[in-house]
Amino acid sequence: MTRRAVVTGVGLVVPGGVGTEAAWRLLSEGRTATRGITLFDATGFRSRLAAEVDFDPEREGLTADEADRMDRYLQFAAVAAREALADAGLDTETENPWRIGVSMGTAVGGTSRLETDYVSTSSHGRDWKVDTEAVSPYLHLALTPSVLAAETAGLAGARGPVQTVSSGCTSGLDAVGYAARLIEDDEADVVIAGAAESPISPIAMACFDAIKATSTRNDEPETASRPFDRERDGFVMGEGGAVLILEDEEHARRRGATIHCAVAGFATHGNAHHMTGLRSEGTEMARAITIALDQAHLDPTDVDYVNAHGSGTRQNDRHETDAVKRALGDHAWSTPMSSLKSMVGHSLGAIGAIELA
């Protein structure tokens, strides 16, 4: 019998809204969470705006020990995972732990703690010899990308396949896609999948300043992120996390779970061209769309809406537009397509999971 992955739980932490209800209000009301950076002093930076999460770990139910141990992106993941598990009505203690998996994505991992601790141990980079007494006892966790999946697995007592996916901006989508395959291949009955990111830090902002990928509309942050707009000038950095509970459809039905949707198709390809550059024709993305539609037994004319990456850079918007036209053909011209990044910014590896949620 063919196994199908369905979504039974959703958890969200996004700029402008912690929790799915708050996030949906932001999006449905068409509000934007972009503003001037407050997480650090951005004076002198080329881009001084971002979409920040107003996040208090204690208010969101994390203990003092968890808040101390976890980098900011791990805190986002924990809060989103707890909401998703509650939404799914899943009691992990009654499930077979060997049949619970985890697939989580992140592009830059523990950037926040790495930067904070380096600054404190080196007198803001002035000293070659670092002060080991000034370092956090949890610094090693920031250097270990697998900690994202490990923390999530610990929260749920998962003993099945556990993986961290780091494939740049597609990390979150890839993590969910791989989670669906674990279920389809009968390696797990339940997979906690998603992504988290907290890249609004001096080092991350400086990196994107250097390649001129971010918007410089510092005086009008609310309208700076404008995907597909004629006057777009780059993306606005964001942060946040999203977690989905994926289950085998029969497993979900047996326990009477509410099924939100199915993950009907997934494909991923690289362009073997450039680390950040894109060819305008979008051949590899079009191929991924076509394969995903074939897996779902859908025709291009069945597509009602395209949720675009839509970063707001000229390269990406042209690449993605051509890819959708190539994959959907004439139907592309009558298919609505937009990007959430105009409201919640671009949270790098987390954004795909957020958009899917």
Residue 104 lies in a domain: yes
Residue 210 in 3-state DSSP? helix
CA–CA gap between residue 85 and residue 79 (Å, rounded): 10
Summarize pLDDT for 231-252 with one digit per residue, the tens.
999 999 999 999 999 999 999 9
Q: Please compute the mean of the pLDDT values over residues 271-290 and round it to a whole number.
A: 84
Q: Please compute the mean of the pLDDT values over residues 25-48 and round it to a whole number.
A: 95
> Per-residue confidence at 115, pLDDT binned at 50, 70, 90?
confident
The pLDDT, as a whole number, for residue 130 is 81
Catalytic machinery residues:
169, 309, 346
Residue 290 lies in a domain: no
The domain that holds 248 is classified in CATH as 3.40.47.10
> Per-residue confidence at 132, pLDDT binned at 50, 70, 90?
confident
The pLDDT, as a whole number, for residue 306 is 97
The pLDDT, as a whole number, for residue 80 is 98
Residue 283 in 3-state DSSP? helix
> Per-residue confidence at 123, pLDDT binned at 50, 70, 90?
confident
> Per-residue confidence at 264, pLDDT binned at 50, 70, 90?
very high
The pLDDT, as a whole number, for residue 82 is 97
The pLDDT, as a whole number, for residue 114 is 87
Q: What is the pLDDT of the chain when averaged over all its residues?
A: 94
Residue 141 in 3-state DSSP? helix
Question: What are 354's two structure tokens?
Answer: 């957020």
Q: Lowest-confidence range among 131-140, 146-155, 317-326, 345-354? A: 131-140
The pLDDT, as a whole number, for residue 134 is 81
Residue 14 lies in a domain: yes
Q: Please compute the mean of the pLDDT values over residues 92-110 and round it to a whole number.
A: 96
The pLDDT, as a whole number, for residue 270 is 85
Residue 132 lies in a domain: no
Length of the chain: 357
Residue 118 lies in a domain: no
Residue 268 has pLDDT above 80, yes or no: yes
Summarize pLDDT for 133-186 with one digit per residue, the tens.
888 888 888 888 899 999 999 999 999 999 999 999 999 999 999 999 999 999
Question: What are 289's two structure tokens?
Answer: 């769309």
Residue 311 lies in a domain: no
Residue 166 lies in a domain: yes
Range of the domain at 261: 5-109+145-268+341-356
The pLDDT, as a whole number, for residue 124 is 79
Exposed / middle / buried, residue 138 (Cβ in 10 Å: 0-12, 13-18, 19+):
middle
The pLDDT, as a whole number, for residue 281 is 82
Residue 96 lies in a domain: yes
The pLDDT, as a whole number, for residue 1 is 63
Residue 278 has pLDDT above 80, yes or no: no
Q: How many domains does the chain have?
A: 1
DSSP code, position 94? G
Amino acid (1-letter code) at residue 87: D
Residue 274 has pLDDT above 80, yes or no: no
Residue 135 in 3-state DSSP? coil
CA–CA gap between residue 206 and residue 235 (Å, rounded): 14
Summarize pLDDT for 83-94 with one digit per residue, the tens.
999 999 999 999
Residue 341 has pLDDT above 70, yes or no: yes
Residue 77 has pLDDT above 90, yes or no: yes
Residue 279 has pLDDT above 80, yes or no: no
